[in-house]
Structure formats: structure tokens, C-alpha cells
Amino acid sequence: MERNEQLERNAEETLDNINKKTGRNMPQAIATGAALVILILACLLISIDLFVALIVVFMILALWELRVDFATVGLHIPVIMLWVCSSVTLFATYYSPYHLEAAALCILMSLMLVSLAATAKLSFGNRLSLAVAGKLSQTEAGARLESSFNHDGGEQQHSRLSHVAVSILTVLYIPLLASCIVISLPGDHPVAHAIMLVFLPALSDTGGLFAGAWLGKHKLSPRISPKKSWEGLAGSMLFAMVGAFAVFFCTYDADVWATRWWVPIVAGVLVGAVGTFGDLCASMIKRDLGLKDMGHLLKGHGGVMDRVDSILMSAPFMCALLWVTGL
């Protein structure tokens, strides 16, 4: 009995140490990750159209999280206009026979409409105020002190140009990068492309998480993200590379392997490096806003934005790689 209790205590201590090094609740993170994998694979197996709709749903949730995050410092983005423009952009990009042209036109129109809507601060009910209050109550005081904004308990006042600027940033960050995922879906291997665009960055994050937790000693960027290390970056690249080789093995024939055997290597390096850069960019935004997480919708992962930042940042590079190599 005493031995069992000692083993349980040792297991709890080990888990606590892992949670501290990774900055996450690992059991929750694993359970949430497994649920997301099942959901995405189910949509891909049923229909690519359903997968596109799932991307739109995640984008809508991510835009709401950004709405709340910016509102904590008094910045306003027109979330309803963003929802409408972003949904139209992704669906038009996918269903139009001219995918790239449709994406470019929709993004230009979105920039114009969102910029105009950002000049009018509209509020519907008290849902946003409640979300902001909940967000601030969950944020550590130390994180607030590191913010570049003055948190004195009152509402921050900004010029209309500031609201327009963050709204433009949001359009370029979410619908523009998400459209790169959709552009890659039409073709001979939509499921393989979707897996590479969505799961390779997630696999890269997993590799970086475990490599950093067990081997990480040399900090990558201590000021922006103290838990990231060069060992974690190497693990990210390695895991993404292995995943790319697995997708290629299950998708393409010997003729493709003979001429494009190097593509999984490039994909692994790209996803590992760019995905880590995307994580650092999100960390910079969080640090500047004085927040720990971008949201709270995904247990163990923070918010939707915390989960998809590396996916979004990797999307244009993977899209370009698939196009250049003719895959």
C-alpha cells in the first residue's frame, strides 16, 4: 500500500514538473488534441466541403477571441463585419474556379469594408463586457505589468486610426492566411494537402513541446517566450519531417518519389521554423496586450488562436511549396 502511494506521489510530481516546463496542463492538452484530430479527420473523410465549413467555424471563434483580447486594452475590431467578410472569402476562394483571384478580390474588399466598420464602435448587449471582465480576472498581475498599455482599471481611449489598424491586422492575420489553406484543397489530393497544412504544424508543435520539455536547455527567445528552446525547434522540424514523409508515403507513387523525395525534408524544415515563428508572433501580441492566453475555448491549449497560430503562419509557405513542386 505504501509503495503504491509513493508511486502515485512520484507520478504526480513528474506530471507537475512536465506541466511547469511545458506551460500547459498536459492531460487536458492531450485529450483536447485527440478530440480535435478526430473531428478534423471525420470532416475530411465525410467531405472536403465540410472541412472548409469547419475552417470557417474555427475562424469565427478565433475572431471572437481576438475581439475580446483587443477589447481588454480598449481596442475595437468590427467582429460581425469580420465574420461576414471572412466567411465569404473562404467560401468564395474554395468554390470559385479562379481560387487565387477570388481570394485576392475578397481580401481587398474585406480590408475596405472592415476599415470602414472599424471607425464606428458598435456594441450589442453586454456579452463583450462580461467576456473582457472574465479575461482580466484570469490574467496574472505580472503579465499586465509587462503590457505596453496602461492598465489603470479604466477604459483605454484610442484614436479611430488605431481601431482601423488592428482591424486591418486581423484581416491579414486570419482570413488571408486561412485562405491559403483553402487554396491548396482543390486538386488531385485534397485530403493529403489538408493533412499537411493542418497536422504538420500541430505535429511540429508536439515535437517542439516534448523535445523542449525533456531536452530544452538553450533558450530560443527568453524575453518573448521563455519556454521555447533551440532543442525544441529541432524537435519541431524533426516531427514535421517525419509526418511529411508519412503523408508522402501514403499518397504518392514511385514516380513522384523519384523526383520529389526532398519535398518532405523542405516541408519539415519550413513548418518547424515558420510554425515556431508564428508561435513567437502570437506570444509577442499576448505580451503586448498583457495576456497569458489568447482565449480559453480549448482546454489545455488556451484559446483557438493559441492552437492555430502556427497553422496560419505555415499555410502560405506550404501552399507555395505544393504549387511550386506541382503536388
Average pLDDT over residues 28-53: 84
Q: Tell me which residue of 31, 29, 93 sits closest to 59, measured CA to CA.
A: 93
Alpha-carbon distance of 32 to 223, in angstroms, equals 28
Asked if pLDDT for residue 325 goes beyond 80, the answer is yes
pLDDT digits (tens, 9 = 90+) for 41-80: 899 889 999 999 999 999 999 898 888 888 888 888 999 9
pLDDT digits (tens, 9 = 90+) for 103-156: 999 999 999 999 999 887 665 555 666 556 565 555 554 555 555 555 554 455
The C-alpha cell that represents 289 in the structure block: 496586450
Average pLDDT over residues 22-39: 69
Burial 158-184 (b: 16+ CB within 10 A, else e): beeebbbebbbebbebbbbbbbbbbbb
Q: Tell me which residue of 99, 98, 89, 65 sits closest to 172, measured CA to CA.
A: 89
Q: What is the pLDDT of residue 205?
A: 82
For residue 282, name the pLDDT band (cuts at 50, 70, 90).
confident
Q: What is the pLDDT of residue 80?
A: 92
Compute the chain's Rg from CA coordinates.
Answer: 21
3-state secondary structure of 227: strand
Q: What is the pLDDT of residue 154?
A: 47
Domain extents for the chain?
A: 35-324
Asked if pLDDT for residue 234 goes beyond 90, the answer is no
DSSP characters over 315-327? HHHHHHHHHHTT-
pLDDT digits (tens, 9 = 90+) for 80-113: 999 999 999 999 999 999 999 999 999 999 999 9
* Percent of the chain residues topping a pLDDT of 90: 28
Q: What is the pLDDT of residue 121?
A: 65
Alpha-carbon distance of 194 to 53, in angstroms, equals 13
Lowest mean pLDDT among 14-18, 64-68, 225-229: 14-18
pLDDT digits (tens, 9 = 90+) for 243-260: 999 988 888 888 888 888
